[in-house]
Amino acid sequence: MLVRSLTIPVKSTQRITSAAISALARLGIHSAADMLLHYPRDWEDRTKTVPLCEFKRARVCTVVTVVARDWIGYGRMKTLKAYVEDESGRAVLLCFNRPWLEKQLVTGAKFRLWGRFYFKYGEIQSGSFEIEPIEKSTEHGSVLPVYSLCSGLTQTQLRRFTSRLLEKCAAQIEDELVQEIIERDNLLHKSEAIRAIHFPNSQDELEYAKKTLIYEELFYLEIMVGKRVLERKGQKRNAVDSTGLEKGAPFTKLQQRLIERLPFALTAGQIAAITEINYDMASNVPMARLLQGDVGSGKTLVSFMTALLAVEKNAQAAIMAPTELLARQHAENASRLLEPVGCRIAFLTGNIKAAGRKELLKNLKAGEIDIVVGTHALFSKDVAYKNLKLVVIDEQHRFGVTQRSLIMSKGNNPGLLMMSATPIPRTLAFTVFGDMDVSIIKDMPPGRKPIKTHLAKESNEMKVYDYVRRELEQGRQAYFVYPLIDGGEDIKDAVSMEVRLAKEVFPQYKTALIHSKLPDEQKRQTMDDFRRGTIKILAATSVVEVGVDVPNATCMVIEHAERFGLSALHQLRGRVGRGQDQSYCFLVYSDELTEDGKTRLKVMLESSDGFVIAEEDLKLRGPGLIAGTEQSGYMFLGIADPIRDIDQLERARADAFSVLESDPGLLLEDHRIIARVLEEAPPFPEIML
């Protein structure tokens, strides 16, 4: 039987109180399968003695004697305080919410003790510990699991429940990998791996169990990615043929016409990306390509060149952005660049008035619009296209999977170009975008100077203001970004700081405010005035994180920088440095900065490479937040970590794709177990794309 097929309710597997059942449910444990797949978050090796005097080095594991007792607090808050000692020293056990320990922790009693200790109030203390009478042997062996818990449940209880369940059903559990892989990599059988991940007999056995289960999770993740690749390649369409390409040249006539009008030369990275995309669009397999490039690398121009290829073949292109601000900017740039070469451009958002919207939709359906730029309104029910052949999604991580699929359904297997200014590290590219081709623009337009980044304590912010003032005096402009719109008690917010900047700090310069809650027309007018230079200082939230392009803005001040993720800081920094003048980014942080905050800001100070920063962000914040993967639910991995386990991930990907190439339908006898896992108990929710 497959592990996930053990759907019998937990309460049917053994005697468990209703209170414990409720607590298990809060952990997401409802069935036998849920309990077995609730892997430990850590393991405690009780074979190695760690005396009280070495509490800073590791979790204490020693034999102690109770030497005295005391009580702290009053009434219902009264708590037992037991003094214990071993040969190396003395410590205090604080028995919070454990009144029953009064009968066990009597003076003179000896116990085995495990727990994390700290030094406080002049003594070594622990409120998180376990004890076992010296005369009893350890129930589950020498290496014990440490689980994630919730109120109403203890480690001892969950260990007991899991142990009893394993005794009943471990023998029924089948392998979920092909035998060839198990033998080749010296993996454990699934039943052994499940038992050993919970109650290993040794550290070596635990490592084998981890290796087995990590590989298995990543293998099935890559099987799902591989199936998506096969599904996409099985979709046929009429290609946007490449006959428009000049002989020996990478561009079509319309693309070449645009290039000749540009006041600058394309970078090598842009040319390579356009060439790859042109090749994709000429195929009868729908294009699925991710275009990555750092802030300001020229991805938008590449998307315009791609749209021209569709237009040249009497097809339509839709370019979708996550915010009206960014969509409007794309539409304005498209009009400026593409209308002179013969393209008909339209702009569509949810705020287009009824009369204008009706006419626009009519023209779109009739094919009288070549390129439409907009927000999620592009996939509204009443929007129809005559011949949609290309969908471009900018800032892909801001759209959910359902939104993407809705706009794709508006055409007949249109090509998909997804763009990201938040570089996706290879560790995530293997998983989230494993069924897409990837183009990377690593070079930047010539003439731009690297942005100089400075760190400043909040108490030294006046020095930052003085620096910005010198830039303003030379005719430049500045952004001030805050983590909150308003209402910050201990944190500066955009609304109140805009007032302070205007009245106290820079009274001689026009200041304005922009954030997500303002009316769209007001946001548009504010950004237009800032671009024209009428507004010199823009107080904002992270709404300016993407797509804002003001070459004259040379200062980016981010207050409470420790409250932003690395990718957000990198995006915000990329709003300056877009002209020929030297630009600066000031990261103003709390005087009481945490170690995690120091680590993040140090990365920003030392690197301007978006790929390096994205990799560090992934390590610090986890995979779900950097690529918007939490929207898809694909990262439901119980024990695997794509960053830590990159070697296993690469091997699993190679094996999964090898299986699918030789047996796409998983019909061979050796592969039937894979088909059963996918059919009977899918290991993950549907992944992205």
DSSP bridge pairs for 133: 111
Predicted confidence at residue 630, as pLDDT, reads 38
Cα-based angle 7, 11, 17 (whole degrees, multiple of 5)? 155
Check whether residue 277 and residue 413 sit in a common domain.
Answer: yes
600 domain-assigned: yes
**Residue 79: CATH number of its domain:** 2.40.50.140
CATH number at residue 533: 3.40.50.300
DSSP track, 485-539: SS--SSS-BHHHHHHHIIIII-TTS-EEEE-TTS-HHHHHHHHHHHHHTS--EEE
Kindly state whether residues 475 and 547 are assigned to the same domain.
yes
Give domain status of residue 637, yes or no. no
CB 581 within 8 A of CB 452: no
Q: Are residues 384 and 504 in the same domain?
A: no
Contact criterion met (CB below 8 Å) for 594 and 404? no
Phi and psi at 13, nearest 5°, equal: -90, -20
Q: Which residues contact 640 (CB under 8 A, 6 or more apart)?
A: 213, 214, 217, 218, 221, 648, 649
Q: What is the dihedral of CA 197, 203, 204, 206, to 10 degrees?
A: 10
**Residue that terminates a domain, selected from 554, 582, 607:** 607
Of the candidates 600, 596, 544, 597, the residue with the CA atom closest to the CA atom of residue 573: 544
Closest CA to 270 of 248, 257, 255: 255
Residues 305 and 258 sit within 8 Å (Cβ to Cβ): yes
| Shared domain check, 601 and 485 | yes
| CA distance readout (Å), 12 to 160, 161, 381 | 15, 12, 47
- The Cα–Cα gap between 113 and 87 comes to 13
Do 51 and 98 sit in the same domain of this protein?
yes
First to last CA, the chain: 31
Q: Are residues 477 and 395 in the same domain?
A: no
- Rounded to whole angstroms, the Cα distance separating 291 from 439 reads 5
**From CA 33, how far away is CA 348, in angstroms rounded?**
48
Same domain? For 119 and 267 the reply is no
Q: Which of 420, 440, 464 is the last residue of a domain?
A: 420
Q: Are residues 394 and 482 in the same domain?
A: no
Domain of 505, in residue numbers? 452-607
Residue 269 lies in a domain: yes
438, part of any domain: no
Residues 462 and 595 placed together within one structural domain of the fold: yes
357 in any annotated domain: yes
Query: Could you tell me if 409 and 521 lie in one domain?
Result: no
Judge if 397 and 276 occupy the same domain: yes
Write down the residue that tokens 């750092």 correspond to.
294
- Domain boundary among the residues 106, 137, 168 is at 137
Cβ atoms of residues 166 and 40 within 8 Å: no
Q: Give the pLDDT of residue 681.
A: 56
Is residue 614, in this structure, part of any structural domain at all? no
**What DSSP line would sit under 469-488, residue for residue?**
HHHHHTT-EEEEE-SBSS--
How many domains are there within the chain? Answer: 3
Residue pair 507/563 in contact by the 8 Å Cβ criterion = no
Assess if residue 128 is contained within a domain. yes
Write the DSSP assignment of 274-337 as a string of letters: HHHHHHHHTSSSPPEEEEEE-TTS-HHHHHHHHHHHHHHTT-EEEEE-SSHHHHHHHHHHHHHH
Torsion angles phi and psi, residue 59, rounded to 5:
-65, 130
- Whether 42 contacts 193, CB under 8 Å: no
Q: Give the list of residues 6+ apart from residue 489 with CB closer than 8 angstroms, or none.
A: none
Can you list the positions of beta strands (E) in 531-619? 537-540, 553-559, 584-589
User: Based on the domain organization, do 402 and 546 belong to the same domain?
Assistant: no
Amino acid type, 420? S
Determine the pLDDT at residue 625.
Answer: 42
Q: Is residue 31 part of a domain?
A: no
* Regions of the chain where pLDDT drops below 50: 140, 242-243, 247, 400-401, 624-635, 682-689
CA separation, residue 418 to residues 100, 189, 319, 590, 624 (Å)? 60, 41, 10, 37, 18
